[in-house]
A and B are shown apart, each in its own frame.
Chain A
Amino acid sequence: DGGITQSPKYLFRKEGQNVTLSCEQNLNHDAMYWYRQDPGQGLRLIYYSQIVNDFQKGDIAEGYSVSREKKESFPLTVTSAQKNPTAFYLCASSSLAGVLDTQYFGPGTRLTVL
């Protein structure tokens, strides 16, 4: 089955710790995205990548970092510099960025900072 997986589904972190959220896709998509969702707000773009070894900041990149060493994988690290990290994080992918194409979403990771 093709799709996007995110792990873990729920994640708890102590203040001051870095944590990495996993996102893997087997759809052979070039573009991958990370979004953050907060209650009462629309999804906001954190980072995106159009090709391996390249990524760009989105609207709210501060306190986050990413890597794209493989086409299938786009992990997101929430660093201790992120002031309000508790949120629902969604990863997505599409076959070609900048072209009219559907984005496919993973199931999400809910991060809670204790």
Chain B
Amino acid sequence: KNEVEQSPQNLTAQEGEFITINCSYSVGISALHWLQQHPGGGIVSLFMLSSGKKKHGRLIATINIQEKHSSLHITASHPRDSAVYICAVNYGGSQGNLIFGKGTKLSVKP
């Protein structure tokens, strides 16, 4: 069974802290996505990666294909980063379907 596991489930941080959210998956993938879901429910795609590392502003995503593991880092966290962060993987095939983790709820306190 293809599974995506995220940790931690919930995370509370103080403003300015460095944050790491982890994602593990069970079999080989074509790509891994990090998504952000705000309290209103809308989802924004942050990164799609299949190897190495990507950076956008204060967000950094890394993936280790051999270990089947990815991390999302937030530097200098801010209360506006409070959201649910979701990891999703694409196992390939013709459908382009994603398998989603349950999400990590991040709360950044001022």
Contacts and interface: CB of A to CB of B under 8 A. Distances in A.
A110 B39 CA distance: 13
Nearest to B35: A105
Interface of B: 4, 30-31, 33, 35, 40-45, 48, 50, 86, 88, 90, 92-103
B95 A88 contact: no
Contact of B95 (A50, A101, A102): A50
Interface residues of A, number: 31
Contacts of A43: 86, 88, 98, 100
A114 interface: no
Given A100-B50, A105-B45, A42 B97 contact: no
A102 to B, nearest CB: 5
A85 interface: no
Contacts of A100: 30-31, 48, 50, 90
